[in-house]
Amino acid sequence: MSNSPSSISALIDQWPTIAEFASDVGCGYEAARQMRLRESIAPKHWPGVIAASAAKAIKGVDWQWLAARHASAARVSA
C-alpha cells in the first residue's frame, strides 16, 4: 500500500480537476470540494471513490483506507 495517496486531498489531486473527480465518483462538485477541504469522505460516497480510484489504477484506496481517514477527520473535528 506504499503507493496509496497519503490523504484525501492527495487522492483528489490525482484528477485534473475537482469537477472530474466529482463526475467519476458520482457526486456533486460542492460535495467533492468539501471532501477535499475537510480531508474526509462521507461513507455514502465510498463505493464511488473506490470504483473511480480502481479505474484510474490508484492503488490502496479501499474501505479500510477510507475508514482510517474518516476516523482521523472525525477525531480532529471533535
**10 pLDDT more than 90:** yes
- Between CA 34 and CA 44, with CA 39 as vertex, the angle to 5 degrees is 65
Is residue 2 situated within a structural domain?
no
Query: What predicted TM-score, i.e. pTM, was given to this entire model?
Result: 0.87
Residue pointed to by grid coordinates 475508514: 67
Cell of 44: 455514502
**1 pLDDT more than 60:** no
Is residue 22 situated within a structural domain?
yes
Cell of 33: 470540494
**27 pLDDT more than 80:** yes
**60 pLDDT more than 60:** yes
- Owning domain of residue 71: 8-77
**2 pLDDT more than 60:** no
pLDDT for res 75:
59
- Mean per-residue pLDDT over the chain, rounded: 91
Is residue 45 situated within a structural domain?
yes
